Amino acid sequence: MSNSIIDRIRNLKEKRKAIILAHYYEEGAIQDIADFVGDSYQLALYGQKSDAPVILLAGVVFMAESVKILSPDKTVLFPDREAGCSLVASSPFEEYLAWKQSFPNPFLVTYINSSARVKAISDVIVTSSNAEKIISKVPHNKTILFGPDRNLGLYLKRQTGRPMELWPGTCEVHVLFSAQKLMKLMKEHPDARVIAHPECDEAILQLAHVVGSTSRLLAEVTRHPGRKFIVATETGIFHQMQKARPDAILIQAPNEKESCSCNDCPYMKLNTLQKIEAALMSLSPEITLPQDILTQARKPLELMMEWSQ
């Protein structure tokens, strides 16, 4: 029997009747061993539809929590407890609740990049791939509150024309792209298509030819006849882009800081094959949430699923 870590993970998966779901921002080797790779919405949907009793989510903790909330009877594992998200950190429950309570007749639309407690007080959850569709369904007599990502909120306000109150959170990775340097790069590569995630600053989004979720950006590289793309999102997605289009030239959008790996999400990149093996071996860390949070957070997540159809 071979002793490689890949083989050991495959054997453990079989033994545990487990599947591995990975986000596009994970390192290539993790994406390659996963049963499914997708954006936040697709991961939640796949987890909900799967019959597997054990799901290991290689992404960040809020993604694993969403799978657990939608499928409370499944064992949901994740490789590293520290795999947080700056948007979750920027929306503490007490303050977010007080913000909601300060508006008359609120309808709280919360980005999936949030804690389970914050989800539990929200009316509907969205991801960047379904937010426009969902916001268009919010009753017009309501005051829409959107959080925690302000850049996505500003983008959605422009796209939907709906007035919205915005929570001031940001993604620490996507706000670091430099619009000034991007303009210079675009002059050097006039044939490149600029594609950006909506968590980027407005100045970047104004320059982009396409703005969308990770799956939308991957679809653009897959389908667009051009060969050159400047990519303003986390570098992990280059793996699937290059697989889909081996001929494509993918250029990282430039960062405010010189020579750093700031286009990597430090939380996504905490996950390793070794930690995945350990989690499948010990069946931990496992997502556990109080029953009341599970019950209350399920409603807005299920509404997201319904309104995304």
* Residues 106-125 contacting ligand SF4, CB under 6 A: 113
**Is residue 199 involved in binding ligand 13P (CB under 6 A)?**
yes
Neighbours of 204 (CB within 10 A): 23
**Is residue 265 involved in binding ligand SF4 (CB under 6 A)?**
yes
**Is residue 113 involved in binding ligand 13P (CB under 6 A)?**
yes
**Is residue 149 involved in binding ligand 13P (CB under 6 A)?**
no
Question: Least distance (Å) from ligand 13P to the CB of residue 32?
Answer: 18
What string of H, E and C letters represents the secondary structure of the chain?
A: CCCCHHHHHHHHHHHHCEEEEEECCCCHHHHHHCCEEECHHHHHHHHHHCCCCEEEEECCHHHHHHHHHHCCCCEEECCCCCCCCHHHHCCCHHHHHHHHHCCCCEEEEEECCCCHHHHHCCCEEECCCCHHHHHCCCCCCCEEEEECEHHHHHHHHHHHCCCEEECCECCCCHHHECHHHHHHHHHHCCCCEEEECCCCCHHHHHHCCEECCHHHHHHHHHHCCCCEEEEECCHHHHHHHHHHCCCCEEEECCECCCCCCCCCCCCHHHCCHHHHHHHHHHCCCECCCCHHHHHHHHHHHHHHHHHHC
Q: In this complex, which beta carbon is closest to ligand 13P, that of residue 75 or of residue 151?
A: 151
Q: In this complex, which beta carbon is closest to ligand SF4, that of residue 54 or of residue 212?
A: 212
Q: In this complex, which beta carbon is closest to ligand SF4, that of residue 24 or of residue 229?
A: 24
Neighbours of 52 (CB within 10 A): 18
**Is residue 202 involved in binding ligand SF4 (CB under 6 A)?**
no
**Is residue 40 involved in binding ligand SF4 (CB under 6 A)?**
no
**Is residue 110 involved in binding ligand 13P (CB under 6 A)?**
no
**Is residue 26 involved in binding ligand 13P (CB under 6 A)?**
no
**Is residue 177 involved in binding ligand SF4 (CB under 6 A)?**
no
Q: In this complex, which beta carbon is closest to ligand 13P, that of residue 71 or of residue 129?
A: 129
Strand partners, 111: 126
127 binds, among ligand 13P, ligand SF4, none (CB under 5 to 8 A by kind): ligand 13P
**Is residue 86 involved in binding ligand 13P (CB under 6 A)?**
no
Q: In this complex, which beta carbon is closest to ligand SF4, that of residue 156 or of residue 268?
A: 268
**Is residue 152 involved in binding ligand SF4 (CB under 6 A)?**
no
Stretch that binds ligand SF4, among 2-10, 133-141, 210-218, 265-273 (CB under 6 A): 265-273
Among 67, 77, 234, 276, binds ligand SF4 (CB under 6 A): 234
Which is nearest to 207 in space by CA: 181, 177, 182? 182
Residues lying near ligand 13P in the complex (CB under 6 A) are found at 39-40, 113, 127-128, 171, 197, 199, 213-214
Residues lying near ligand SF4 in the complex (CB under 6 A) are found at 60, 85-87, 113, 171-174, 199, 234, 265, 267-268
